[in-house]
Each structure stands twice: as structure tokens, then as C-alpha cells.
Amino acid sequence: MLAALLLSTAAAGCAAADSETSDSSSSSSTEKTSKKEKKDCGYKATDDCTPHVGPDQKVMVDALVYRLTPAKAVKEIGDPEFLGATADGVFIVASVKVHSQRQESGTLTSDVFQLEVDGKKYDPDNDGSTAIIGDDAKPFLLEDIGPDSTVKGQVVFDVPKKVLKKHPELRMNELGFGSTHGFIELPKLTVE
């Protein structure tokens, strides 16, 4: 009788271990699916979706549709002696076209944009943004955008040169204090 009780207890322990292994592999499989779904959830940013799209695709954040027009990497913008700037590393100048599907006007500022690479976030560079004004370009300083309208502008980041080899992504944040955001991968860039 004692032998039967021990055998029964051992079998129950093995069944519990098999159940835990099954639950853990099921959980791991669910996590992988969840990550894949988040990566492939389309182009519209929501609380459950953070889109990562290629350089020729669009992303929508807060009813604003962003498209990367050209992007380039340069050491200097304009004439350094007259409203120009020289990068500490290299300037990435991202030209962006924004179309509003919002019901009311909004104001685009450089805070809407960041450059992200390997989990590090770079904010727009003030010197570079000022320099592109002198170079006849238009930074997103305080750009109003009305419903069903489109604006174009440039965002400038001063980053270490090695960032160019690490697949940087342009991050668009929600206007105001919202947390949704989306990413457009930059094309391969070399310093001009």
C-alpha cells in the first residue's frame, strides 16, 4: 500500500512538472507571437501597436501621417561662419512630410521627433536646426497644421558617426503628453 502511495505521488509530481513546462513553452510562444504582432501591426500607432516601417512607408501617430522624404548625413550645414553649424559627430537631416487627418489644428514642434538607435534616443539639435534655416530649409520649430492639410520640414540630429551603421529609426511621438509613437527606419546613409 505504501509503495502504491509513493508511486502515485511521484506520478502526480511528474504530471505537474510536465504541465509547468507546457505552460512555460506556451507562454514563450505567446510572447513571440505578441512581439511579432506588435512589429507587424500595420502603420497606425495605438496603445497596442508601435509600428516600425521601412524608409519608403508611412506611419500614423495621433491622426498625423508621416512620410520620410529624403534623409542625408553631413558634417556641416551652411557656412559655419554665417549661421552655419559643424556637427560634433555627424548631422542626420531628415526631411519629413506630414499630413493631418485630425479634426482640429495642432502644432508640430521638434519635440515630436527623436532619433532612436539601440534603445538610445537623440533629440533634435538646436544648432543644426538653426543652420538649416540659413540653408533655405524649414525646421519644425512651431509649425501649425490644420485639418486635412500637409506640411513639410526638416529635423536635424547631431549623432556619433557610428550611429549610421546601426539602423537608426526616426521616432514620431504623439502631440502633447500622449504615449503612442511610431518609427520609420532611415535608409542607409553615408556622409556627403
Q: How do strand 113-117 and strand 106-108 relate by DSSP bridges?
A: unpaired
Q: Are residues 76 and 4 in the same domain?
A: no
CA–CA distances in Å: residue 185 to residues 55, 105, 144 = 5, 27, 25
Residue type, 153: G
* The three three-digit cell numbers of residue 1, written as one number: 500500500
- Asked whether residue 118 is assigned to any structural domain, the reply reads yes
Q: What percent of the chain has pLDDT over 90?
A: 60
DSSP 8-state secondary structure symbol assigned to residue 164? G
- Asked whether residue 47 is assigned to any structural domain, the reply reads no
- Asked whether residue 192 is assigned to any structural domain, the reply reads no
Confidence of residue 40 (pLDDT cuts 50, 70, 90): low
For the chain, the average pLDDT equals 81
- Asked whether residue 70 is assigned to any structural domain, the reply reads yes
Range of the domain at 157: 52-185
Identify the CATH number of the domain in which residue 140 sits: 2.60.40.1240
Digit-coded pLDDT (tens) for 95-152: 999 999 999 999 998 789 999 999 999 999 999 998 998 777 888 888 899 999 999 9
pLDDT at 17 over 60: no
- Asked whether residue 88 is assigned to any structural domain, the reply reads yes
Digit-coded pLDDT (tens) for 71-81: 999 999 987 77
- Kind and range of the H or E element at 23? helix 2-39
* The three three-digit cell numbers of residue 95, written as one number: 526631411
Q: Are residues 64 and 129 in the same domain?
A: yes
Q: Are residues 17 and 75 in the same domain?
A: no
Q: Are residues 67 and 133 in the same domain?
A: yes
- Predicted confidence at residue 151, as pLDDT, reads 94
Pairwise CA distance, residues 71 & 187, whole Å? 7
- Over residues 147-166, mean pLDDT: 95
- Asked whether residue 191 is assigned to any structural domain, the reply reads no
